[in-house]
Structure 1
Amino acid sequence: MSEVLLFTDGASLGNPGPGGWAAILRWGSHEKELCGGFCHTTNNRMELLAVIEGLAALNRPCHVQVITDSRYVHDAIVKGWLPAWQKRGWKTADKKPVKNQDLWQRLIALLNRHHVDFQWIRGHAGHPENERCDVLAKQAAQAPGLPQDPGMA
């Protein structure tokens, strides 16, 4: 099974507002940058989408180390929030609907395809790949003609 590093970040210029996501995939000596955006979205959606798009770009099952500055994404996986939400019928512990369910469901399918570990890093702390993803995500959020985020009502 191939070993892959996946660095991710998401940005929203206003929350909600125009947003972008970015991912850097690294396996061996190869590296690929991915990014995209929407005209009206949230930061959390973009953080999630960065992980989803990075994992979706892999054409075979891999062992993936996701490096993210998103506590939202990291904690949902590492602290077991995601399976708890599913068990409660996509409700939070205080019985409210889970936000971004459409993206969480996409992520679940990808987590079932790959062996994925998550590592949290502090954002804007000089981590080269995190800084690069931040730049790419912000550029994507400012691109002209961004489409609508289908998950935003």
Structure 2
Amino acid sequence: MENGNISWKRMMFKGNKVWQAFGPDEKPLYKNEKVLIKYNIKQDYEYWVNENNVESISQDRSSESPVKKKILNKASFNNRKETEKDASEGDIPSGAICIYTDGASSGNPGPSGIGVLFRFGEHEKELSRHIGIATNNIAELEAIRTALLELKTTKKPVRIFTDSSYAYGVLTMNWKAKKNPELINSIKKTMTSFRDLKLVKVKGHAGHAGNERADFLATRAVKNEIK
């Protein structure tokens, strides 16, 4: 898994398995006290993240008993949920469906895509879709709309994480929308059908695993279309 003078090693980042970059001296690559990671060894996108959030994967996990592995996996998942709570600046209710959405546009307007990551318990589902020619704001809204329509229940708590100030503002803070009123009103109407739904604003490109993955999925949808 060599890329020039860089080698990639399997590590853990906030409860998620990632690949971390190491130099020819076998030391991690550093930039402004951050290390370089990617979620998939074949992906183009790479991220600089806080080194304190990256941990090694024990090499002797294969020799552990199934019971011990289960306990460790559960602990890892619980740690990930705690990270999500910190990033959301609020509590996530027990049994909640966590959704990370992002939109991308090449040209703004231009070829656009959406990325959605669903998490419920230990289950995950990803969605990466090209939506045609649109602006980045429309892509951000469309990602949220699509996520809501994908859900099969309105009775469970739902938390949708977005890094779009625009989407958060027009959907939750009564910002006056000069454009896209039909799409915005459609999303608001759908939101009212859920028993417990909240939109949570997170900082983009800040090392939040769920948000970074949604960003990758949205960008991939655009790249696949314009190849």
What is the TM-score normalised by the length of structure 2?
A: 0.54
Cα pair distance change 1:108/1:144, threshold 3 Å? same
- Whether 2:194 is the aligned partner of 1:100: answer no
The corresponding residue for 2:3 is none
Between the aligned partners of 2:160 and 2:147, the Cα distance in structure 1 is: 9
Amino acid at match of 1:101: P
Computing the radius of gyration from Cα coordinates, the structure with the larger value is: 2
Between the aligned partners of 2:96 and 2:108, the Cα distance in structure 1 is: 34
Secondary structure of residue in 1 paired with 2:157: strand
CA displacement at 1:99 relative to structure 2: 1.0
Q: How does 1:43-58 map to 2 (within 5 A)?
A: 43-58=136-151
Q: How does 1:53-64 map to 2 (within 5 A)?
A: 53-61=146-154, 62-64=156-158
Amino acid at match of 1:72: Y
Deviation string 1:59-96 (CA, Å, 9 cap, x unpaired) is 11032111110001111233223xxx5xxxxxx5xxxx
Unaligned runs of 5+ in 1: 86-91, 93-97, 146-153
Runs of 4+ in 1 over 2 A off after TM superposition: 142-145
- Whether 2:174 is the aligned partner of 1:80: answer yes
The corresponding residue for 1:148 is none
Between the aligned partners of 1:103 and 1:73, the Cα distance in structure 2 is: 11
Between the aligned partners of 2:193 and 2:207, the Cα distance in structure 1 is: 32
- Whether 2:211 is the aligned partner of 1:130: answer yes
The corresponding residue for 1:31 is 124
The corresponding residue for 2:55 is none
Cα pair distance change 1:47/1:134, threshold 3 Å? same
The corresponding residue for 2:162 is 68
Between the aligned partners of 1:140 and 1:4, the Cα distance in structure 2 is: 24
Asked if 1 retains the 8 angstrom alpha-carbon contact of 2:114 and 2:131, the reply is no
Amino acid at match of 1:80: N
- Whether 2:203 is the aligned partner of 1:109: answer no
Q: Aligned Cα RMSD in Å?
A: 1.9
What is the TM-score normalised by the length of structure 1?
A: 0.78
- Quick one: higher RCO (CA 8 Å, sep 6+), 1 or 2? 1
The corresponding residue for 2:135 is 42
Secondary structure of residue in 2 paired with 1:142: helix
Aligned residues: 131
- Whether 2:98 is the aligned partner of 1:18: answer no
Q: Which moved more, 1:103-112 or 1:122-131?
A: 103-112
Q: Which moved more, 1:121-130 or 1:72-81?
A: 72-81
Unaligned runs of 5+ in 2: 1-93
Asked if 1 retains the 8 angstrom alpha-carbon contact of 2:130 and 2:221, the reply is yes
